[in-house]
Chains A and B, each alone.
Chain A
Amino acid sequence: MTSATQRHDSAATAAAKPVLDWFFALAALAVVGVYIRAIYFTPLEARQGAAQKIYYIHVPSAIASYCAVTITALASIVFLWLHDERADRLAEASAEVGLIFMSMVLVTGPLWAHNQWGAWWVWWDLRLTLSLFLWFLIVGYLVLRGAIEEPAMRGRYSAVLAVLAALLIPFIHLSVYFSAAHMHPDPIVLQPSKPKLPPEMLLTFLLGIGAFTWLCLALIRSRYRLGVLRDEVALLEAEHASR
């Protein structure tokens, strides 16, 4: 009884926090700022022209989505270990946000590839195939969550799926690698000897990564708070029904 009341109280205080707040608003503003800079104040790439500008949305989204799915995997391990419902909620929140960013990667990538590679899709490109299957895994994870009503079981099942998916990634990576022709550009930014990206472009790129990662964290935070509210509503409905 006490634990139920405590849980109720903590949920109620959390519910007082707004879902979208200054943290989210600043992240959104930062993304807008980066795009104004990318479009108007960053020079055109000599060979690719305007098509290269998609790079400032494509790569930061990819990094943000990898951050989100890493959080999902880590939170799932924590949930299996400690059975803390907060970890489950965090895993769910970051999986949903990860899906949004991964979808952006999969939309912007083919747009650029059609212009530069001459093909929308190249199966034997490592990162492309990996991103697609990661997208499928996240969708499967969210569908699984939607298909289970009971919260404890939903948490366990989805955590098991997330941990196994984390084990699967290296296998998909190696499988494509073994049969791959590498189509993605070689690293230009993380080249210790000689960075080739001009400073204006590098700055826009780094600002883009910063803004997107921030937006990703802000969205996860908002989605987490939404999850708290949802659980609160479920609790109140259950109390109401039992009366």
Chain B
Amino acid sequence: MSDHRPPGTFSSAWLLVRKDLAIEFRTRTAFLSALVFAVLALTIFYFTWDESVVSPNDRAPGVLWVVLTFSALLGLQRSFGLEEHDRGIDALLVSPISRESIYLGKAIGNLIFLCAIQLVAIPSLVLFYNMPVGRPLFLVSGIVFLAMVGIVAVGTLFSAMAVNTRLAELLLPMLSLPFFVPILMNASQAAARVFAGRPVAEVGHLLKLLVAFDLVFIFACTLAFSFTLEE
């Protein structure tokens, strides 16, 4: 054992987050494409309903979750695709940081990436669909964050698995979408009710399930991640 102890799980995870964000900040390719996709999809979906039948207010929550899911998939694909270039993943594996740190670092990086997209997408939704601002918007942002945590927990693991397969990024939606079902089902219903001005107590059980999903899958995917990297 040397005197130089390797950094702890969280500090090495944070190093990885900074590395990924620095790459993203300098190139901005993935961020811009996901962002443009999100805003473009918001505007296109506006024209897919008959306005005289369904009011924009009623369809906005549905549109929000569709856009959010697919922009999340765009962000997640990039996560480990980045390491495939020049086999960067091998360099990560030989570095003195634990597998859990790699997973946590990637997951936190993805979470920041997705939240940054939502920071633009949600205000755009409010703008284009004339949604209420203030308390409902604040609560919906909280629900979106809870959903993002679950999506990132599962999606980061599957992103790591998918890049090593023949189908690469084509496989990611097929593996992750069934896992997003409980997240989307609960989060979208909770968000729709909150947007409609219903009390939070009415959606408490949905939010509890969402939090339980987040906790269970953060734990399970952190453990499972080391199985996907054995070399």
Q: Which of B154, B161, B164, B186 has the most CB of A within 10 A?
A: B161
Q: Smallest Cβ distance from A40 to chain B, in angstroms? A: 41
Contact B185 A140 (CB under 8 A): no
- Note all chain A residues with C-beta closer than 8 A to B171: 143-144, 147
* A178 and B205 alpha carbons, distance in the complex (Å): 8
Interface SS of chain B: helix, strand, loop or mixed?
helix
A-B contact count (CB 8 A): 79
| Residue B97 lies at the interface, judged by CB distance under 8 Å to chain A | no
| Residue A156 lies at the interface, judged by CB distance under 8 Å to chain B | yes
Contact B209 A178 (CB under 8 A): yes
| Residue B55 lies at the interface, judged by CB distance under 8 Å to chain A | no
Closest B residue to A129 by beta carbon equals B181
Q: Smallest Cβ distance from B225 to chain A, in angstroms? A: 9
* A80 and B224 alpha carbons, distance in the complex (Å): 10
Contact A157 B161 (CB under 8 A): yes
Give A30-56 as 1s and 0s: 1 = Cβ < 8 Å from B's Cβ atoms: 000000000000000000000000000
| Interface residues contributed by chain A, number (CB under 8 Å) | 29
Contact A140 B166 (CB under 8 A): no
- Note all chain B residues with C-beta closer than 8 A to A156: 227-228, 230
* A10 and B217 alpha carbons, distance in the complex (Å): 39
Give A152-189 as 1s and 0s: 1 = Cβ < 8 Å from B's Cβ atoms: 01001101110111011001101110110000000000
Q: Which residues of A contact B (CB under 8 A)?
A: 80, 133, 136-137, 139-140, 143-144, 147-149, 153, 156-157, 159-161, 163-165, 167-168, 171-172, 174-176, 178-179
Q: Which residues of B contact A (CB under 8 A)?
A: 154, 157, 161, 164-167, 171, 174-175, 177-179, 181-182, 185-186, 189, 205-206, 209, 212-213, 216-217, 220-221, 224, 227-228, 230
**CB pairs A–B below 8 angstroms (23 shown):** A143-B171, A147-B167, A148-B165, A148-B166, A149-B166, A156-B230, A157-B165, A157-B227, A157-B228, A160-B227, A160-B228, A161-B175, A168-B179, A168-B182, A171-B212, A171-B216, A172-B181, A174-B209, A175-B185, A175-B186, A175-B209, A178-B206, A179-B189
